Structure 1
């Protein structure tokens, strides 16, 4: 395997090395601590891609994400003196919970800094796992700086979410499980924030199966890796913006970047629409609750299925910790993007029974009415006209077309709201 940092990108040297033996050692350390998460086949994605697609369900891991693996290995490797000083971490939620649980299991005091806008369920879970939680910063990078300052001031050991060899080795155990559960795998898709999970998987998989194609996936609004790879060094992205808070990281980690630059085959980006559609698909088709960052590999498959048709594909669902309020918004957004909602305005005569007649037409085509509003003050309306604004739940784009045609045949003029 290549020496980390020797890929010709002019990175600062020397960087630590992470090798297959490190990942195998982490796997032994995690025995009885982390779960060997299941691998589920997806008939729908397989038919779309034209090859078997499997979902590696790290959303079913303890604490709801892969982060426990790296956090536990990092803290378990501390000296007794370091453990006595306690640990501090920064995270939007998943790393926070991983550090909190790992610390509790190992009897170490933990303080976790989280962004001010972190989802409340993640904040509550982190506290329940035993950590002291401090809210600071608007994005992960600002929160990281606050946690580092706390470490410098108190002597607590800073547990970085991705930029440390022990963390990367722990995350790499996901790759070993993928090889054990799907030995014939041809392509692995994995979401990238700072890069710890992708780097760890790459170290483990490429050492055993260098022919396996590994593709990293980033949210388009927080995609630091494509410009960083082009520049040959980590380049920060100003004001990253995405619903996928788990991969909303403005700058790649130095060590993950060196590994990813050396070992990953490709890095792609996905839109917010693709992320919401992927979350909805995981919920509806796979019966899995997956957070936006966790379903980014599925979003990549939905966006460009033709790119992944060679051999079995494994999409790593990295986490399932999604705020219920965000889930509600994403589901609405995903259903709209999938053509499951239809909004329109219909002019009717302003007389008793007119609305009932309109709704009767909709019932014949099985359209579910979510909301009804009346517009009477538009100057374009006739003296005896009223415009009815309708929000409908439909079965998809074809059903939307069927609804519109039924209204047209019944003599109702349509306009967009």
Structure 2
């Protein structure tokens, strides 16, 4: 059973393993509320996952420790289990799909785990882990649906409540539900007035759908840049805790998550993965009634691949109107580009790309000109469009 005593015990056990991440006041991200960030992206493994994994492993019997632990993950949970097992002098085996990024495979090995690459997807790796568990007698460390794992994640709430008074709400990303279960249970026991809000991405809304329909549901597929919370089905324990202690759950889009990642980089100099930025996205895009409130958003992890980060930044720039593209239909004659460039420059934007395209225009002598620009926001883009139209240019 999950108890408050167990969460406090987890806090004591974890002192030598995890890093207590201090709250950071965020400026310029959500001006309508007083926003603080809990930067678990600065955790030792780059994610909160090590808290639950380490407490679960610390609570094993001597016999279980001797046989070692096994887990299945393509990311943060793998690294958390690996580090926690190594710190406790226990062997660990992590089953990973053979499609997992090399960087994550090497990071898992770097924390002291053996890695078993399994052909196929996550589900194949999961089945392999369960098979090896039965064969070798390993203890399986579940990524979220385990009382000790949930208690370990609950230590985040203890740190938040100790660091900051008069909190109105804590906003938490949700995948399988281990993180929000621990935080919600702990916070509600200590300070029942604090609102707990969960955030899922629209492409992986398993907990959201389950709560709305009052029964656990399994998605056919998940598709999102927030791979850390791309879970097809919530756990039985976590579904119960979310129903009992979470005040509301909302959905964000991949574009909103991309904008939040970009905002964290620019405003806070903080790198977050998709899952880590989901709670910030919910606050940025007013998914909950938080105006004038003191709010804490959990930045749950920062393990994002560099190539993915560049694509996310580009998407975030488009989503926020910082980067834009206009397709202009015009007559193919000298001087057109000069006039267009002058108008854009007079509006204070910067042209970053010009592409000449022939196509099916109204005029035989027509063509298309695609202009890529750096702009301030959507209002700036609209100003440029209206200025071009005012001088007779047709925006397609």
Q: What TM-score, normalized to structure 2?
A: 0.92
Task: Give the corresponding residue for 1:180.
Answer: 162
Aligned match of 1:129 in 108, 111, 136? 111
1:305 Cα deviation after fit:
5.5
SS in 1 for 2:364: coil
Contact 1:100/1:130 (8 A) holds in 2: yes
Alpha-carbon separation, structure 1, partners of 2:3 and 2:91 = 30
- 1:141–1:249 contact (8 Å) kept in structure 2: no
CA distance in 2, matches of 1:231, 1:406: 50
Q: What pairs up with 1:95-106 in 2 under 5 angstroms? A: 95-106=77-88
Contact 1:141 1:250 in 2 (8 A): no
User: 1:340 matched to which residue of 2?
Assistant: 322
- 2:341 corresponds to which residue? 359
Taking the aligned partners of 2:288 and 2:181, their CA distance within structure 1 comes to 25
Please name the residue that 1:24 is paired with: 8
How many residue pairs match? The answer is: 396
Once the two structures are TM-superposed, the CA of residue 213 in structure 1 deviates from its matched residue by 1.1
Residue 369 (structure 1) aligns with: 351
Of the structure 1 ranges 69-78 and 59-68, higher mean CA displacement relative to structure 2 is found in 69-78
CA distance in 1, matches of 2:217, 2:253: 21
> Per the alignment, in what secondary structure is the counterpart of residue 35 of structure 1?
coil
2:257 match:
275
Residue matched to 2:171: 189
**364-373 or 302-311, which moves further after superposition?**
302-311
**1:23-46 Cα shifts (integer Å, max 9, x gaps):** 100101111211110211123345
1:171 aligns with 2:129: no
Alpha-carbon offset, residue 57 of structure 1: 0.8
Counterpart of 1:156 in structure 2 is 138
Moved more, 170-179 or 99-108: 99-108
For 1:317, which of 259, 277, 299 is the aligned residue? 299
Contiguous gaps of at least 5 residues in structure 1:
1-16
- The answer for the alignment partner of 1:44 in structure 2 is 28
Summarize the alignment of residues 201-216 of structure 1 with structure 2, pairs less than 5 Å apart: 201-216=183-198
Contact 2:29 2:263 in 1 (8 A): no
Structure 2 residue 244 is matched with structure 1 residue 262: yes
Give the corresponding residue for 1:238: 220
**Which of residues 352, 365, 368 in structure 2 aligns to 1:387?**
368
The change in CA–CA distance for 1:302 and 1:118 in structure 2 (over 3 A counts) is farther
CA contact (8 A) 2:325 2:372 kept: yes
In 1: Cα distance, 2:128 partner to 2:52 partner: 21
Aligned to 1:8: none
